[in-house]
Structure 1
Amino acid sequence: MKLSEESRSGEVGAPTSLLVRSKNVIYHAFKWVSIVSIVAIFLSLLLGVVVRYVLSTNLGWVTEVPNLLFPWLTMCAIVAAAAKNEHIGIDLVVEKLPSLPRKGVVLAVDVIAMIAFGTMAVHALDVVEIAGSQRLPITQVAMSWAYWAVVIGFLGLAVDSLINIALVLTGGDQFSEPQVSHGEDGI
C-alpha cells in the first residue's frame, strides 16, 4: 500500500508511514512462516506416502512434522490476516457511525484486543514450560517448540492491535483499511 503525497508530507505522514510499514513487515514475516510451514508439511507427508508405496517401509518422523508445524501455520496465518485487516469482523454498525464515535469504538476494540492477546501470550508461556518436558516419540523434539507458535502468534496480534491504536491516535487509521481484496494479494 502506498501513501499519497499529502500523507507523506503532512503532519501525520511520517508516523503513519512508519506504522503502516510496520504492519507490512509483520504481514510479510508471518505470511512467509505460514507458507514455509504448509510447504514443509505437504512435502513431508508426500515423502511419507512415496516411501510407503515405493519402498514398502515407513518414515516415522513424517507423522510428527504436522504436529510441530501446524500450530505455526495457523497462528502465523491469523497474524498475517490481522496485519492486513482481513480478519473476520462485522463492521456494518461501526461503518454507519459518525467519524468520532467510530474511532472510539475501533480504539476500544483494539485496546481490549491488545490486552486480551497480551494476556494470552503470557499465559501461553506456562503451557510452553509444561510442554517442554514432553517429547515427540521419534524425533525427540520438545513439544514446547510447537507451543511457541501460540506465544509468538498472540504477541504478534497484540503488537498489531497496538499499531492499530497508534494509527487511530495519529489520524492514520484510514490507511489501515483492508489492503487485500479477498486474498488477491498473491505470493
Structure 2
Amino acid sequence: MINQVLRWFIGILIVALVISVAMGVFWRYGLGNSLYWATEVPNVILVWIVFIGSVVAYYERRHIAFTALVDALPERLRWSFRIVAELVVLAFLGALTVYGYQIVSSAMNSLSDALKIPRGYFYICMPLSALLMAVCSVENLFRLLRRPGEGAPT
C-alpha cells in the first residue's frame, strides 16, 4: 500500500520537475527573462525523487547487490549472514534517521535563497526515507527469522 502511494508521489514529483524545468527554459529563452526559482525548485524536486525513489527500490529489492559470495555459502551460514547484513542495514538506517533529523532541525533556521522558506523542508526527505526503509528492514528481518525454508537453521 505505502509503496503504491510512494510511486504515485514520485510520479507527481516527476511531472512537477518537467513542468518547472520547461517553465524555466521557456521564460529564459522564449521571454528573455528568468524565473527566480527556476534553479532551486527543480534541484529540490530531484533530491526528493532520489530519496523517495530509494525507498521504493529498497522495498522492491531493486538496489544493486553482489550475492555471489553469499549464494556460495552453506544454507545455515547464508541465513546467518543475511540476518547480520539486515541488522547492519537497520543500524545504518537508524543512524541516518537520527542524523537526518538533526540536519533538518538545524536547517530550519536557514532560509532558501529563492523561495525564502526554511531549508529543513527541503531536507526532510532524508530522515523520512531512512525511517521508511528502516520499517521495511524490520519487516525483512522478521521475514528472515520466521521463514525456515530459506536457509534458516531447523
What range describes the TM-score normalised by the shorter chain of this pair? 0.7 to 0.9
Percent identity between the two aligned chains:
25
Return the alpha-carbon distance in structure 2 between the equivalents of residues 56 and 157 of structure 1: 44
Residue in 1 that maps onto 2:23: 47
Letter in 2 for 1:61: W
SS, match of residue 33 in structure 1? helix
Which segment drifts farther, 34-43 or 85-94? 34-43
* Offset of residue 172 of structure 1: 7.9
Letter in 2 for 1:40: A
Return the alpha-carbon distance in structure 2 between the equivalents of residues 133 and 62 of structure 1: 23
CA displacement, residues 14-61 of structure 1 (integer Å, 9 cap, x when unaligned): xxxxxxxxxxx3432333333222221221010111122222221111
The residue correspondences of 1:76-91 to structure 2 (distance < 5 A) are: 76-91=52-67
The answer to whether the Cα contact below 8 Å between 1:31 and 1:80 also exists between their aligned partners in 2 is yes
Residue from 37, 40, 45 that aligns with 1:61: 37
SS, match of residue 97 in structure 2? helix
Return the alpha-carbon distance in structure 2 between the equivalents of residues 173 and 70 of structure 1: 41
Residue from 102, 108, 124 that aligns with 2:84: 108
CA displacement, residues 102-147 of structure 1 (integer Å, 9 cap, x when unaligned): 1111111111111110111011111101111111223212111111
TM-score norm. by structure 1 comes to 0.73
The answer to whether the Cα contact below 8 Å between 1:26 and 1:156 also exists between their aligned partners in 2 is no
| Residue-pair matches, total | 150
The answer to whether the Cα contact below 8 Å between 1:167 and 1:173 also exists between their aligned partners in 2 is no
RMSD: 1.8
SS, match of residue 138 in structure 1? coil
Letter in 1 for 2:28: R
The answer to whether the Cα contact below 8 Å between 1:67 and 1:146 also exists between their aligned partners in 2 is no
Which segment drifts farther, 55-64 or 103-112? 55-64
Residue from 25, 28, 31 that aligns with 2:7: 31
Q: Greater relative contact order: 1 or 2 (C-alpha under 8 angstroms, separation 6 or more)?
A: 1
**Structure 1 position 140 matched with structure 2 position 116:** yes
Return the alpha-carbon distance in structure 1 between the equivalents of residues 84 and 110 of structure 2: 39
Structure 2 runs not aligned, ≥5 long? none
* Offset of residue 66 of structure 1: 2.1
Return the alpha-carbon distance in structure 2 between the equivalents of residues 48 and 71 of structure 1: 18
The answer to whether the Cα contact below 8 Å between 1:26 and 1:83 also exists between their aligned partners in 2 is no
**Structure 1 position 71 matched with structure 2 position 47:** yes
Letter in 1 for 2:74: P
